[in-house]
Amino acid sequence: MTAALATGHARAARLAYIGTMTEETPAAPLQGAALIADEVKRLPDAPGVYRMMGEDGEVLYVGKAKSLKKRVIQYAQGRFHTQRIAHMVHLTRSMEFVTTKTETEALLLEINLIKQLKPRFNVLLRDDKSFPEILIRRDHPSPQIRKHRGAHAIKGDYFGPFASAWAVNRTVNSLQKAFLLRSCSDSVFETRTRPCMLHQIKRCSAPCVDLVTPAEYDDLVEEAHDFLRGKSRAVMKRLSDEMTAAAEEMEFERAARLRDRIRALASVSQEQTINPETVDEADVFALHAEGGQACVQVFFFRAGQNWGNRAYFPRVASAIADGGEGEGGSEDPGDAAILDAFLGQFYESQAIPRLILLSHEAPNRELLAEAFSMKTGRKVEIATPQRGEKRELVAHALTNAREALGRKMAEGSAQSKLLAGVCEAFGLEASPERIEVYDNSHIMGTNAVGGMIVAGPEGFQKNQYRKFNIKSAELTPGDDYGMMREVLRRRFGRLVKEEEAGEPAVRPDLVLVDGGKGQLDAALEIMADLGVDDIAVVGVAKGPDRDAGLERFFIPGKEPFMLEPKSPVLYYLQRLRDEAHRFAIGSHRARRSAELKKNPLDEIDGVGPGRKRALLHAFGSARGVSRAAVADLAKVEGVSDQLAQRIHDHFRRS
């Protein structure tokens, strides 16, 4: 009896202890498929967007669904298309959800979130810079023609997109020869008293000094508008008829001018090759994927003309988490899903045409068409042509995509070998993924600028370049070591602050400074002060008489050394140094040019663009303003007696 009681008390004690342990020891947090399965219990059968989060809140993937419940539960069932998706599920530590009224709204929200958050398991468009366009401004009595990039905030007619700034500049130059439209700014236009050089070389009709009547200039503007809208044949025929009539009336000089204008228009038409007959306005997308990489080739057709093309290489190494959800037809669903994801991000910041032609049947084609129609307020068609001229356009784009990817993969292979050579030459632990190269540029210490360029496995990363206007007033003019210290302190000081704040920060694997031991010591001093001395730093000194091939390299703790004169690694390092030099000099020249163009009126408090324009118009130049009396200054519209006195005193102090 006693033994039985003792046994019962012991069992009760153990149960009590176990219960206590259960209360005090929290259960391990759910993660991966288990966490997703738990989240599904509370999800609605409604459209929306989901985010899969990893450690420290890192966004792994953003997806949209017609039914959140049905879509998300697939991740918890273990049936994955690729090992990458399984890895993504394994890394998931939390999820966030947003419900929407329609699947179209979910698609638009997904596109916005991908662009903002850049999740590593989504297809990412690496370059979303807007394309240049041609603008004919309509907010001035004498409309201006110019290159434009960005939002359509100015009243006028926009024509584009063009694939490159070079194509726009070439076309604008030809249109100036053909239609004699002004390209100068309003401030220059209003202060002209005689025709500029562009009029002398027959590229402007000089409306600024009334060498052409407003009605005649308006006719030129409308001709340019018609030509850019695709009525090129009608415009050229009209000019040809005028030339013939002028010749018959013995007005040979006027006939010669019309002949030159026709030639300029013909050059524009001939440069736009592969002009389709059945497509007036369309964008053509073709995708080629191979070896874990992809290329999307985009061709732009406007007004029945080919306005250029551009190749994109979206980040797709992390695969498609949706696995080509939707109907992919006979195409590889992975390729189709890449194109699908690319389209949404591409048109987040670009003008949307009426027709979009694709090489693959996009899984969300109808949904994308509906979303684009909502954004533009008109019908947008997305098609995968199977025959005819449209199919030929897609096939041509596909050939270009295949060739561009082949070139990039070949370049990448060579680049990897060069980086491996850099690793060996400088004794690094691994091939560098990010190399930062620094150089300074100045003239006797004036307008000093520091430049940073970035290179890696994909070549020069120009969107990562940075310039540093040297600001320190304590530097001795021409102190290259002091300039390098300032540049590196600002660059790596910011890096340290970002890391301390837990913000995304990018560390270089190798830093190259243009200079010998002195520059290297200056760099190492700053790196040590900031606590980032674990980054490899190398000094690159030019050879005697600045001869290429005789560079000496300085590494902490080692004797200076040279590489083999014909070494590919040496040529590569020379390219890096020359690119840094080019960028620093270009930044310096831009700063010096801005300094030369600086107007003294900009320094006077209370003189904004409007009053500055009025003063220049009244007195012809800043020098004329500086010589004016207070009474004369006060007569200018918008200039009060107090401001007139302030302007007068400013120039007397100077």
Q: Are residues 203 and 306 in the same domain?
A: no
CATH assignment at residue 331: 3.30.420
Q: Are residues 446 and 591 in the same domain?
A: yes
Count the neighbouring beta carbons within 10 Å of the beta carbon of residue 408.
17
Residues in the chain: 654
Q: Are residues 257 and 232 in the same domain?
A: yes
> How far apart are the C-alpha atoms of 507 and 511, rounded to whole Å?
10
Residue 199: name the closest of 220, 218, 177, 221 by CA: 177
CA distances from 266 to 62, 178, 259 (A): 49, 10, 11
**Residue 496: inside a domain:** yes
**Residue 425: inside a domain:** no
How high is the pLDDT of residue 269? Answer: 56
Q: Are residues 240 and 358 in the same domain?
A: no
DSSP-assigned letters across all residues of 333-351: HHHHHHHHHHHHHHTTSS-
**Residue 14: inside a domain:** no
Q: Are residues 218 and 175 in the same domain?
A: yes
**Residue 445: inside a domain:** yes
CA angle 323, 324, 325 (to 5 degrees): 95
How high is the pLDDT of residue 549? Answer: 63
Beta pairing class for 446-456 and 355-358: unpaired
Query: What's the DSSP call for residue 149?
Result: -
Domain boundary residue among 271, 305, 334? Answer: 271
Helix, strand counts (H, E) of the chain: 21, 18
> How far apart are the C-alpha atoms of 602 and 496, rounded to whole Å?
37
The pTM score is 0.60
**Tokens (6 digits) for 477:** 């003019």
> How far apart are the C-alpha atoms of 129 and 519, rounded to whole Å?
36
How high is the pLDDT of residue 435? Answer: 95
CA distances from 157 to 133, 137, 222, 260 (A): 10, 6, 11, 25
Q: Are residues 103 and 248 in the same domain?
A: no
> How far apart are the C-alpha atoms of 140 and 186, rounded to whole Å?
8
Domain boundary residue among 549, 575, 595? Answer: 595
User: In sequence order, which ranges of 180-322 are alpha helices (DSSP H)?
Assistant: 186-191, 197-200, 214-228, 232-248, 252-271
User: Within the chain, which residues score under 70 in pLDDT?
Assistant: 1-27, 79-82, 126-129, 230, 232, 264-277, 317-333, 443-446, 473, 475, 477-478, 543-549, 593-598, 654
Residue 441: name the closest of 585, 593, 592 by CA: 585
Q: Which amino acid is at 179?
A: F
Per the structure, the count of domains in the chain is 5
Domain boundary residue among 55, 89, 117? Answer: 117
Interhelix angle 517-530/480-500, rounded to 10 degrees, is: 30
Collect all residues with Cβ–Cβ distance below 8 Å to 515 and sequence separation of at least 6. Answer: 480, 484, 539, 540, 541
Q: Are residues 560 and 591 in the same domain?
A: yes
381, 354 contact by CB (below 8 A): yes
Q: Are residues 47 and 162 in the same domain?
A: no
Instruction: Tell the residue number behind the tokens 């990817």, with chain if given.
Output: 405
**Residue 65: inside a domain:** yes
Collect all residues with Cβ–Cβ distance below 8 Å to 116 and sequence separation of at least 6. Answer: none
State yes or no: cis peptide before 161, omega within 30 of 0: yes
Q: Are residues 589 and 608 in the same domain?
A: no
How high is the pLDDT of residue 2? Answer: 43
3-class secondary structure, 438: strand
Q: List the beta bridge partners of residue 446.
A: 443
**Residue 483: inside a domain:** yes
CA distances from 384 to 329, 345, 388, 398 (A): 11, 19, 12, 13
> How far apart are the C-alpha atoms of 388 and 439, rounded to whole Å?
55
**Residue 374: inside a domain:** yes
CATH assignment at residue 543: 3.30.420.340
Residue 229 φ then ψ, to 5°: -85, 5
Q: Which domain holds residue 648?
A: 600-653
> How far apart are the C-alpha atoms of 4 and 190, rounded to whole Å?
110
Q: Are residues 532 and 482 in the same domain?
A: yes
3-class secondary structure, 209: helix
> How far apart are the C-alpha atoms of 532 and 498, rounded to whole Å?
13
**Residue 461: inside a domain:** yes
CA-only gyration radius of the chain, Å: 33
3-class secondary structure, 560: coil
Q: Are residues 148 and 201 in the same domain?
A: yes
How high is the pLDDT of residue 21? Answer: 45
3-class secondary structure, 117: helix
389, 276 contact by CB (below 8 A): yes
Q: Are residues 113 and 195 in the same domain?
A: no
> How far apart are the C-alpha atoms of 512 and 124, rounded to whole Å?
30
Could you report how far apart the first and last alpha carbons of the chain are, in Å? Answer: 112
Q: Which helix or strand (DSSP H or E) is residue 63 part of?
A: strand 59-65
Collect all residues with Cβ–Cβ distance below 8 Å to 417 and sequence separation of at least 6. Answer: 568
